[in-house]
């Protein structure tokens, strides 16, 4: 069984400030971890993913995330927020076995960027 907890359903930052969105997961098998972004009235777009290898992964639009097994965390960061980053962000986990490829999502974090 897998689960994802995103701490903070709403996060506000000033333009140019650090963005930190928190994600903790639970998985009975080695996890694959993903961050997706959803803009209003649009589908989900992949920001980045961790499968194996380097634990610090870089994604699109300047985002990165670090897989910390000991903390069961996969927090998303961006050094400097832009107005265009305002959206809803979802952390997701899937199993590494073929029978567990579907995604389990967190409840999402709405990011607001203040001018």
Binding residues for other proteins, rule: CB under 8 A, are 32, 34, 36, 42-46, 49, 51-52, 90, 94-108
32 vs 74, beta carbon nearer other proteins: 32
- Nearer to other proteins by C-beta: 17 or 44? 44
Closest to other proteins by CB, 59 or 62: 59
The pair of structure tokens assigned to 19 is 């963005």
**At its nearest, how many Å lie between other proteins and the CB of residue 16?**
30
């Amino acid at each position: 069984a897998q689960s994802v907890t995103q701490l903070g359903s709403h996060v506000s930052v000033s333009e140019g400030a650090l963005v930190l969105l928190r994600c903790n997961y639970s998985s009975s098998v080695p996890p694959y971890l993903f961050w997706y972004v959803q803009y209003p009235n649009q589908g989900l777009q992949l920001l980045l993913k961790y499968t194996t290898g380097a634990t610090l992964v870089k994604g699109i639009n300047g985002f990165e995330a670090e897989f910390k097994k000991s903390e069961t965390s996969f927090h998303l960061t961006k050094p400097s927020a832009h107005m265009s980053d305002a959206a809803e962000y979802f952390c997701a986990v899937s199993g590494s076995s073929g029978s567990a490829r579907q995604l389990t999502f967190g409840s999402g974090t709405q990011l607001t960027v203040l001018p």
